[in-house]
Amino acid sequence: MGTAVSLPLTLSTRKEDLLAIEIQDLFDAGAFWAQGRRIEDIELMIQMSNPVVSARIDNRLVGFTRATGDGVYRAVIWDVVVDPACQGQGIGRQLVEALISHPLMCAVERVYLMTTFQQGFYEKLGFVKNASTTMVLTRNT
């Protein structure tokens, strides 16, 4: 993993700083699981997620993550995405650290996330593999 970015990287937890089209472009470029999401759905996703963290370099969105939870017992991290051209510079680490230290997340007993290929990255941030059964209900959209 690269070192932390010392460029003019700006992190924000303000939903007002986010445009759905920017997130859609970021997803299309750097998130195989989130490509082709509709703008209307992204707008609702932003509205229903709390907290959100965005990363910008020169006012360009280069990273995004979000969480949902109850603020006490459980939370889930979703969509940790960094622009492929900016990966390896510590932006993902900064996004996750800002998210889990946010007042809505810092005291949560258990924080979950799902990842396909990045277990090593999250282990460096203190996450451990969970052997419990995961179940999912998938609806056709």
Buried b / exposed e across 115-130, counting CB within 10 Å, b at 16+? eeeeeeebeeeebeee
Integer CA distances (angstroms), 97 to 10, 90, 119, in order: 14, 11, 16
Radius of gyration of the chain (CA): 15
Q: In this structure, which amino acid lies at residue 3?
A: T
Told to judge if 112 belongs to the known catalytic residues of this protein, a careful annotator would answer no
Dihedral sign of CA atoms 134, 40, 64, 28 in order: positive
What secondary structure letter does DSSP report for 85? Answer: G
Q: Strand 9-12 and strand 110-113: pairing?
A: unpaired
> Of these residues, 2, 122, 123, 138, which one is catalytic?
122
Instruction: Enumerate the active-site residues.
Output: 122
